[in-house]
Structures are given as structure tokens and as C-alpha cells.
Amino acid sequence: MISTNEYFDGQVKSLGYTTSIGNSTIGVMEPGTYEFGTSTHETMHVIEGEMIVKLPGSTAWLTFKAGASYEIDADEKFQVKVSAHTAYLCQYK
């Protein structure tokens, strides 16, 4: 089954599914700034576009372009800025 999810009044949408290695979502963010919280470890891959990210415990904004990825531990918060529609793959494991 493929789940459909919407966040931030539809400014972020994702599709959830399960693979042999765990749960994943692919999603799209409209231009904006978002704060996300994690309940499990997440590996975020930028598919198209670009994310500017403030990682947990960091004061710096780091840029991740298409092809780049970053990881977030469980029970953390992180902020993401995108200036154009940006697509991602998030793996929960």
C-alpha cells in the first residue's frame, strides 16, 4: 500500500511505502521554511532541487543539493529551507 501524507497545509506532501530494508517516503516541498521532528533515525536524500538545513544542535545552515544526503537521529528537530520545489527520499532506519 502507498500512503498519501500532507503537512504544513499541503506545502509538503509525501508518499509512504515499505521496502525490504524498512519504511521510506518520497516527498516534495514547496518553497518555504519548515521544522520537522523525527521519531526514528532518518536518512534524507535530496532528489531534485536543494535544501538548506539547520541540523539538530547546529547553528549553521548547510546546503544539500540533489544527490546529497544527511542523517537525523530519533527524537530530534531540524529546520529546512527550500527556495524552489524540492523532492526528497527519506529512509527511516
| Contact residues: its own copies, CB under 8 A | 1-2, 4, 10-11, 13-15, 17-20, 24, 26-28, 30, 47-49, 84-85, 87, 89, 91
Give the cell for residue 67.
544527490
Give the cell for residue 93.
532506519
Closer residue to its own copies in complex, CB, 10/57: 10
Give CA–CA dist 46/57, Å, rounded: 21
Least distance (Å) from its own copies to the CB of residue 67?
10
Give CA–CA dist 27/66, Å, rounded: 14
Least distance (Å) from its own copies to the CB of residue 21?
9
